A and B are shown apart, each in its own frame.
Chain A
Amino acid sequence: MRVKALETLLSEKGLVDSSAIDTVIELYETKIGPRNGAAVVARAWSDPDYKARLLENGTKAIAELGFEGVQGEDMMVVENTDSVHNVVVCTLCSCYPWPTLGLPPVWYKSAPYRSKVVRDPRGVLSEFGVELPDSVEIRVWDSNAELRYLVLPNRPAGTDDLSEAELAELVTRDSMIGTALVAAPAS
């Protein structure tokens, strides 16, 4: 309701053309979303040289696949391993890497997620069904300023024979935020 009122006001004052808003919505519904990030992850899992470039300069390596632009100008990719798990938040508002993940889910923007995950990341991960032993270091990334973060999830076991396209199918949005692990394919 509030959004509709704002849109009406901006249109009536002649500041925005309502067809421009439709174009933005269409872009983020059909072209820009987490399948882009999944393609980046699958490439990194398949090509060690690409993975090295991705971890060295996330912005450039992601642009190699054609994903760049607003809210992805300065990207850092953080890698999950058997001993490190990364999870991303923006405690300021809802900063999120749009070119690779699209627009953020509602829970990512909610005060409960933003306030709790910095203080009790293991508790939040548990709420998402992710239980990690204390031997795994949890790194919370607060993207409250210039960088936007993409998690490179751990590649599940039993996926050695999968093609890059098949690997991309396994990768979920939440696994690239860090609130999920990538599950092995059902055998």
Chain B
Amino acid sequence: MPLLTRDIVGGLVAGGASCRMDAEVAPKFKAGDKVATLNINPASHTRLPRYVRGKHGTITHDHGVFAFPDSSAESGTHSDPQHVYSVRFEGEELWGKDANANACLYIDMFDSYLEAAES
């Protein structure tokens, strides 16, 4: 019996597969908080791209609790639920003097990637 059959396509496409988790996890940060990303370089899966490692930014939104991909990739199941935020980084923080004028970057960041920074 195939795993993917015509009968289940409609349900799969319509239902989706969010990694949002119904777990009571306290957020470490709130909108407006200044944060710094860790400079980690794991050999395994991560959603912390190199260009935002060790950088300072500001939390702009808290999107709620999701499975942590770095852990899920190891365990094979939704693991280590935690808050995901939009974090804003100014262009100059990421790219120095080569940054575009008046440009910034927003990216989804997990609690495990962040530490509090001086405001």
Contacts and interface: CB of A to CB of B under 8 A. Distances in A.
B9 A27 contact: yes
B13 A74 contact: no
A76 to B, nearest CB: 8
Contacts of A140: 103-106
Contacts of B84: 145-147
Interface string A69-98: 111111010000000000000011000000
Given A17-B5, A69-B16, A119-B94, 13 more contacts: A14-B2, A24-B9, A27-B9, A69-B13, A73-B20, A122-B103, A137-B102, A140-B103, A140-B106, A142-B105, A144-B49, A145-B47, A146-B66
B101 A134 contact: yes
14 contacts: A15-B2, A70-B12, A70-B15, A70-B17, A74-B20, A91-B49, A119-B51, A120-B100, A134-B102, A135-B102, A137-B102, A140-B103, A144-B108, A146-B20
Nearest to B84: A146
B100 A145 contact: no
B46 to A, nearest CB: 10
Interface string B30-72: 0000000000000000010101000000000101001001000
Contacts of B61: 76
Contacts of A71: 16
Contacts of B47: 92, 144-145
Contact of A17 (B4, B12, B108): B4
Interface in A22-62: 22-24, 27, 32
Contacts, number: 123
Contacts of A104: none
Contact of A20 (B4, B86, B105): B4
B53 to A, nearest CB: 13
A136 B105 CA distance: 14
Interface in B17-33: 17-20
A14 B66 CA distance: 33
A185 to B, nearest CB: 30
Interface string A109-129: 000000000111111000000
B100 A122 contact: yes
B97 interface: no
Contacts of A147: 63, 84, 86, 108
